[in-house]
């Protein structure tokens, strides 16, 4: 779906999320959301905060799992995805923080594999993700599933692509300060969600959006795997869609 701008596109995604939360509330069930970081979802989160404050949307039945976190990363560092999620969303809504899950950037290396298995187990044990939202990196990554990621990959420690680290350099005051690794949900983890929405805005995403939507399905561009599923929606602004 192509919207004239990121504001109208973000409103539509926020509305989809709110509708899901409310429909689950009517059933007395939890809504299980897979959340993303980066600049792309910021307006979606701002609209959800507005809906909470002005329209009374409650997040008391919401359970969240974030896609990824840098490794190593302290949760209180300004670049951490824990910090990002609190600042953009969690600090402003009525979510129970016990229902919030974000990969742990503070683990000892030998504990990562067990943590990742447990992350997968927690997602399945509550019945899986109802909705996963995604941005897209210029390498074609979703989460931090960089080129080379297998379609059945699970949550794991990965090495970040050079382009991804360059794109993050501004946040870290130089590429040399960007962690070389991250913990990310896998492509297989993402694909188990019942609904997936990939969002992309701005001209700088137009090239990778074209590859993701129209390119040959290949591990070289992990977002091309999304072509294999009919439960995936791309929500784009006109600039991001301009090469389609």
DSSP state of 96: -
Rounded to 5 degrees, what angle do the CA atoms 100, 74, 90 make? 30
Say what the alpha-carbon torsion angle 13, 17, 22, 23 is, to the nearest 10 degrees: 100
CB of 27 to ligand GLP, least distance (A): 30
CB of 227 to ligand GLP, least distance (A): 18
User: What H or E segment, with its residue span, contains residue 22?
Assistant: helix 6-27
Q: With respect to ligand GLP, which residue has the nearer C-beta, 45 or 144?
A: 144
Q: With respect to ligand GLP, which residue has the nearer C-beta, 61 or 189?
A: 189
> Could you give the CA distance from residue 187 to residue 224 in angstroms, rounded to a whole number?
11
Name the residues that contact ligand GLP, by CB under 6 A.
Answer: 36-40, 67-68, 135-137, 143-144, 164
CB of 231 to ligand GLP, least distance (A): 19
Say what the alpha-carbon torsion angle 6, 234, 149, 179 is, to the nearest 10 degrees: 10
| Token representation of residue 238 | 């006109």
CB of 36 to ligand GLP, least distance (A): 5
Find the catalytic residue in 146, 176, 214, 239. Answer: 146
> Could you give the CA distance from residue 200 to residue 152 in angstroms, rounded to a whole number?
24
Which phi and psi angles does 177 have, rounded to 5°? Answer: -95, -5
Q: With respect to ligand GLP, which residue has the nearer C-beta, 18 or 168?
A: 168
Q: With respect to ligand GLP, which residue has the nearer C-beta, 31 or 200?
A: 200
Residue 118 designated active-site: no
Catalogue the active-site residues: 146
């Amino acid at each position: 779906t192509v919207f004239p701008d990121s504001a109208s596109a973000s409103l539509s995604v926020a509305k989809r999320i709110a509708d899901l939360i409310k429909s689950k509330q009517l059933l007395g069930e939890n809504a299980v959301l897979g959340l993303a970081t980066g600049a792309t979802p910021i307006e979606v989160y701002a609209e959800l905060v507005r809906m909470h404050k002005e329209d009374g949307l409650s997040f008391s039945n919401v359970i969240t799992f974030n896609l990824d976190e840098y490794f190593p990363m302290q949760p209180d560092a300004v670049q951490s995805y824990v910090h990002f999620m609190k600042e953009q969303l969690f600090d402003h809504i009525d979510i129970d923080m016990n229902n919030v899950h974000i990969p742990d950037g503070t683990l000892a290396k030998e504990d990562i594999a067990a943590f990742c298995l447990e992350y997968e187990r927690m997602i399945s044990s509550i019945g899986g993700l109802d909705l996963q939202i995604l941005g897209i990196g210029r390498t074609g990554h979703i989460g931090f599933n960089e080129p080379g990621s297998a379609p059945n990959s699970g949550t794991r420690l990965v090495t970040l692509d050079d382009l991804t680290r360059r794109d993050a350099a501004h946040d870290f005051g130089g590429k040399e300060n960007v962690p070389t690794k991250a913990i990310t949900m896998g492509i297989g983890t993402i694909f188990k969600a019942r609904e997936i929405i990939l969002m992309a805005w701005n001209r700088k995403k137009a090239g990778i959006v074209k590859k993701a939507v129209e390119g040959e399905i290949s591990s070289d561009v992990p977002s091309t795997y999304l072509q294999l599923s009919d439960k995936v929606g791309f929500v784009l602004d006109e600039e991001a869609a301009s090469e389609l």
